[in-house]
Amino acid sequence: GAGVSQTPSNKVTEKGKYVELRCDPISGHTALYWYRQSLGQGPEFLIYFQGTGAADDSGLPNDRFFAVRPEGSVSTLKIQRTERGDSAVYLCASSLNGVGGYTFGSGTRLTVV
Amino acid sequence: RKEVEQDPGPFNVPEGATVAFNCTYSNSASQSFFWYRQDCRKEPKLLMSVYSSGNEDGRFTAQLNRASQYISLLIRDSKLSDSATYLCVVNINGGGNTPLVFGKGTRLSVIA
C-alpha cells in the first residue's frame, strides 16, 4: 500500500482479555517495527522484524506480548491477559531495508478498562 | 544516563522567532540521527536526517557534534504550523539494522 496501515485505530478491551493489533507495512519494506507510546513519552521500542524473523525482541515488556510476521509482510502484535498498564498507542513502522528513517502508521490506541 | 535526552519544554515562542532544541545521546558508537515531528494525537513523521557536516532544509537546520554526543535543531522564522512535538531519534547501538531510540520529545508552541 501507499503507507503503513494499522487496524483497528481504536480498541477498548476489558482487563484480562486478549487483543490482536495488525500492521500492514509499505509494500516491499523488509523491516517492520513495533513501538508503544504513552502520554508525554516518546515511542518505546518493542520488537523488530527483518523479513519473517524477529531480529530483536528485547523491548517486549514480558511474555504476555508476542508478535508474528509469517509471510514477511503483515504483522500482528498479540497481547494476552491485558492489564490497565498496557493502555497506550501502539505504533507500527516500516523501512526499506532497516537502514535510515522509518515511516509510521497512524497507530492503534489501546485502552484497557 | 538516559539513552536519548531532550528538554521536554514547552517552548512558547512568537511567530517569526528563531528557536533551538538540543538533544544528547549516550552511546558514542551511534551512527544515525534524525529529527521527527509529531502533531497531537498523530504518528511521528520524519522531519530530517542529521549529518556530520550539518544540514539545512529551508528554515530548519540540524547539527551533530559527535565529540559532545549532542544534536541540535534550529528553526528560523517560526510559523504557527511549526507547533508540534519534536523528537530526537538515534540509532543508539550503532549497527545499520538496529532499532531507533526516541527521546521524549520537546514541545513547541508558536503563538501569534
Give the pLDDT confidence of B18-62 residue by residue, as tens digits: 999 999 999 888 888 999 999 999 999 999 999 888 999 999 999
State how far the Cα of A28 lies from the Cα of A97, in Å rounded to an integer. Answer: 9
Of B34, B99, B103, the CB nearest to A42: B103
Of B32, B87, B98, the CB nearest to A42: B87
Interface size A-B, in CB pairs within 8 Å, comes to 52
Largest CA distance in chain A: 38
Using a pLDDT cut of 70, give the percent of chain A over it: 97
State how far the Cα of B62 lies from the Cα of B57, in Å rounded to an integer. Answer: 9
Give the pLDDT confidence of A78-98 residue by residue, as tens digits: 999 999 999 999 999 999 877
Give the pLDDT confidence of A1-29 residue by residue, as tens digits: 589 999 999 999 999 999 999 999 999 99
Residue with the three cell numbers 493489533: A21
Q: Which three cell numbers stand for residue B31?
A: 551512527
User: What is the mean predicted confidence (pLDDT) over B96-102?
Assistant: 81
CA of B28 to nearest chain A CA: how many angstroms apart?
Answer: 18
Residue of A nearest to B47 (CA): A101
The answer to whether residue A63 scores a pLDDT higher than 80 is yes
Cβ separation of A101 and B49 shorter than 8 Å? yes
Residue with the three cell numbers 498507542: A89
Q: What is the reported pLDDT for B97?
A: 65
State how far the Cα of B49 lies from the Cα of B47, in Å rounded to an integer. Answer: 7
State how far the Cα of A5 lies from the Cα of A27, in Å rounded to an integer. Answer: 11
CA of A107 to nearest chain B CA: how many angstroms apart?
Answer: 7
CA of B107 to nearest chain A CA: how many angstroms apart?
Answer: 10
Q: How many helices (H) and strands (E) does chain B have?
A: 0, 11
Cβ separation of B99 and A105 shorter than 8 Å? no
Beta bridge partners of B65: B70
Please report the DSSP string for B29-81 in residue order.
T---EEEEEE-TTS--EEEEE--TT-EEETTEEEEEETTTTEEEEEE-S--GG
Of A42, A100, A107, the CB nearest to B104: A42
User: β-pairing, B11-14 with B106-111?
Assistant: parallel
Using a pLDDT cut of 90, give the percent of chain A over it: 90
Cβ separation of B96 and A107 shorter than 8 Å? no
Q: How confident is the model at residue B95 (pLDDT cuts 50, 70, 90)?
A: low
Residue with the three cell numbers 528513517: A101
Q: What is the reported pLDDT for B2?
A: 76
State how far the Cα of B70 lies from the Cα of B94, in Å rounded to an integer. Answer: 15
The answer to whether residue B110 scores a pLDDT higher than 70 is yes
The chain-wide mean pLDDT, for chain A, equals: 95
Q: What is the reported pLDDT for A67?
A: 98
Using a pLDDT cut of 90, give the percent of chain B over it: 78
